[in-house]
Amino acid sequence: MSDDEIAARPPRRWHIAVFLAPAVAVYTALMIVPLVDTLRLSLFTTVDNQSVFVGFTNFVTLFGDLRWSKSFWNALQNNVVFFIIHMMIQNPVGIALAAMLSVPRLKGRTFYRTAIFLPTMLSFVIVGFVWKLILSPIWGVAPGILGALGLKFLFGPWLGLESSALITLSLISVWQFVGIPMMLIYAALLAIPEEVIEAAELDGITGVGQFFKIKLPLVLPTVGIVSILTFVGNFNAFDLVYTAQGAMAGPNFSTDLLGTYLYRTFFGFQLQLGDQNMGATIATMMFLIILTGVMIYLFAIQTRMRRYQL
Amino acid sequence: MTTAKARTSLIRSGLMHLALIAYTALCLAPVVLIVINSMKSRAAIFSSPMSLPGPKTFDLIGFTTVINQGNFASYFSNSLIVTGTSIVAVLLFGAMAAFALSEYRFRGNTLMGLYLALGIMIPIRLGTIAILNIMVATRLVNTHLALILVYTAQGLPLAIFILSEFMHAVSSDLKNAARIDGLSEYAIFFKLVLPLTRPAIATVAVFTMIPIWNDLWFPLILAPGEATKTVTLGAQSFIGQYVTNWNAVLAALTLAILPVLVLYLAFSRQLIRGLTAGAVK
């Protein structure tokens, strides 16, 4: 190779590699490799401490063996209910709060904003126990408040009843996270150009009508982002159930989510031993569910909304 | 006509404040209730839960129990070490990678960006089983390092994504002028770009901090030992153990809430500005 050719080649830019190396190394070693390895483990089983390839046998067990499939479908169904309650309550309440906060010249805006976002900052452990205490029939705070409103007959040990525990937990989680849709949608509302609003006012579209006809369609992309964030968060939720109801997700598994089911399967509980391959199988199913949701968002919802916005 | 209009708008704003005050109360009341009752005697907690602690009912027995029986000082220092180190790593590595992606055109740039963005949507928890295997194999179970490594990997994708947006905005004239002055690429990053993106970095720091400080899953699985327990896990296991001692439970919850509350009030402007600015983009 002649000197000319070496000179003509651009110099190797090592600094790019240096800048990228630490992030890529940590991210690959602790995020991508474990994720791929977990997917791989779902195709193996452990016999006498030896990993043996078994193909899709674990999935056949998960869906075919009644002991497994019953728990899996129960957890999945609870997770779907958990998600639906978030979508039906957290997002509308968040949108309503954001709409009120974005009204021009609102007094006390900063105070409201700060206070409503506070629960989002607290850990699941705090939120779980705080509500567990408040709803406890032993302490009597919740029946006391309902009594003051003349609604005492409504009170029940909600977290302890199979029929109401999941809904109660979902509402506690909604209470904690309303701040996120509120804040993101509030920001999107503030970003709507002044001219659009002025044009609407000239056409006589004001107040509530203006919100539904002009503003809400313009912030739909943000509602989409909030929805996918909620979806991903809900389908790997664990902490709140573990704190409030324990790893058994009682009463009688009525609050079991995929996250708690994965935890119990992996670590074992009561008489059942922990099983890392079945745990990996459940983790793989969670991965597929989340991936499907993200794909639907990216390809179906986001592209359509962009077009709509134009 | 005008007065009627003014009156409806007055009524509407009154109703709005009513709704906002009601919702604010719903957000604050549970926290206030826990904090005030943590300072009362056991009898008062049950006889008058809604009242403030008075001279007759004031009692710090719960806090005494927590401080004598729990290791909260050690839990706090564990949380500080883990959260602090993870944030520094996320910000430094994240900013470096964001700079590489936003500053240079090289083959595979887009692909690398997408690869690093995967982690924004796919939760790191799904790889927990293999992560535990790695930590067992490298004897890192029950060490701070195990948590720090995991949290760094968890925080990097979003940090890189947000920081590259901001680094795009740094004037290229400025960087080219520095290059002509003979500054190396490293000097440009550390002395020029990093100081200029400080506000964005502060925002990312707050975003990164909250999920790490509040996480229960990884401390429970990777570092459940007494010596490495974080506040979140420590409070969880303490409360589980003292579940019938209401004074101790309320005091432990108050101790877990207060630092978050203080930090939040100190940084809420920064956080809210970051949230709103990020969404506009």
Convert the pLDDT of each residue in B97-126 to its tens digit. Answer: 999 999 998 888 999 999 998 998 899 999
Are A86 and A181 in a shared domain? yes
Residue A310: the pLDDT is 42
Are A40 and A104 in a shared domain? no
Omega of the bond leading into A251 within 30 degrees of 0 (cis): yes
- For residue B34, the distance in angstroms to the closest alpha carbon of chain A comes to 7
- Which residues, other chains included, contact A190 with Cβ-Cβ below 8 Å and sequence gap of 6+? A102, B276, B280
Q: Which residue has the tokens 């604010």?
A: B24
In a domain, A60, yes or no: no
Are A30 and A162 in a shared domain? no
What is the phi-psi region of residue A63: left when phi exceeds 0, alpha when psi lies from -120 to 50, beta otherwise? Answer: alpha
Are A106 and A237 in a shared domain? yes
Which of A:40-59 have CB within 8 Å of B?
41
Which residue in B42, B60, B50, B85 sits closest to B208, CA to CA? B85
Tell the CATH superfamily of the B71-241 domain. MetI-like (1.10.3720.10)
Contacts of A130 in chain B (CB under 8 A): 30-31, 33-34, 253
Rg of chain A taking only CA atoms, in angstroms: 25
Show the domain range for A22: 14-53
Closest residue in A to B10 (Cα–Cα): A106
ipTM: 0.88
Contacts of B96 in chain A (CB under 8 A): 18-20, 22-23
> Which of A12, A15, A185, A269 has the most B C-beta neighbours within 10 Å, making it the best mutation to test the interface with B?
A15
Rounded CA-CA distance A37/B193 in Å is 37
Number of folded domains that form chain A? 2
**Three-state DSSP class for residue A50:** strand
Per-residue pLDDT tens over the stretch B29-58: 999 999 999 998 888 888 878 888 888 888
Q: What is the pLDDT along chain A (310 residues), one digit of tens a residue?
A: 444 444 556 667 889 999 999 999 999 999 999 999 999 999 999 888 888 898 898 999 999 988 899 999 999 999 999 999 999 999 999 999 999 998 888 888 889 999 999 999 898 888 998 899 889 888 878 888 888 887 777 787 888 888 899 999 999 999 999 998 998 899 889 888 888 888 888 888 887 888 888 899 989 888 988 999 999 999 999 999 998 998 888 788 999 999 999 999 998 877 678 889 999 999 999 999 999 999 998 887 767 766 555 4
In a domain, A5, yes or no: no
In a domain, A58, yes or no: no
Contacts of B185 in chain A (CB under 8 A): 13, 15
* Domain spans of chain B, in order of start: 2-63, 71-241
Are A111 and A22 in a shared domain? no
CB contact under 8 A, B130 and A34: yes
Are A35 and A100 in a shared domain? no
Are A180 and A258 in a shared domain? yes
In a domain, A6, yes or no: no
Of A122, A191, A294, nearest to B121 by CB-CB distance is A294
B13-28 per-residue burial string, b: 16 or more CB within 10 A, e: under 16: eeeeeeebeebbeebe
CB contact under 8 A, A236 and B123: yes
Of A15, A187, A280, nearest to B279 by CB-CB distance is A187
CB contact under 8 A, B275 and A183: yes
Residue A308: the pLDDT is 55
- Is some CB atom of chain B closer than 8 A to the CB atom of A106? yes
Residues present in chain B in total: 281
CATH number of the structural domain spanning residue A212: 1.10.3720.10
Of A35, A117, A126, nearest to B126 by CB-CB distance is A35
Residue B280: the pLDDT is 41
Q: Which residue has the higher pLDDT, B12 or A169?
A: A169
Residues present in chain A in total: 310
Give yes or no for a contact between A56 and A43, defined as CB atoms under 8 angstroms apart. Answer: yes
- Is some CB atom of chain A closer than 8 A to the CB atom of B124? yes
- For residue B226, the distance in angstroms to the closest alpha carbon of chain A comes to 18
Are A158 and A47 in a shared domain? no
Which residue in A73, A251, A74, A75 sits closest to A165, CA to CA? A251
Which of B:38-97 have CB within 8 Å of A?
45-46, 49-50, 89, 92-94, 96-97
Are A172 and A247 in a shared domain? yes
Contacts of A276 in chain B (CB under 8 A): 129, 133
In chain A, the largest separation of any two C-alpha atoms, in whole Å, equals 94
**Three-state DSSP class for residue A76:** helix
- Is some CB atom of chain B closer than 8 A to the CB atom of A37? yes
Which residue in B155, B147, B174, B169 sits closest to B90, CA to CA? B155
Are A267 and A301 in a shared domain? yes
- A268-269 and A44-47 beta bridge pairing: unpaired
CB contact under 8 A, B149 and A30: yes
Could you write out the DSSP letters of every residue in B49-109?
Answer: TTSPP-TTTB--HHHHHHHHHS-HHHHHHHHHHHHHHHHHHHHHHHHHHHHHHHH---TTH
Are A25 and A144 in a shared domain? no
- Is some CB atom of chain A closer than 8 A to the CB atom of B215? yes
For residue B34, what are its two tokens?
Answer: 């826990």
Per-residue pLDDT tens over the stretch B127-178: 999 999 999 999 999 999 999 999 999 999 999 998 998 888 888 888 999 9
* Four-residue CA torsion sign, A201, A207, A210, A215: positive
Encoded amino acid at B158, one letter? L
Per-residue pLDDT tens over the stretch B259-274: 888 888 888 777 777 7
- Is some CB atom of chain A closer than 8 A to the CB atom of B213? yes
Are A48 and A142 in a shared domain? no
- Is some CB atom of chain B closer than 8 A to the CB atom of A84? no
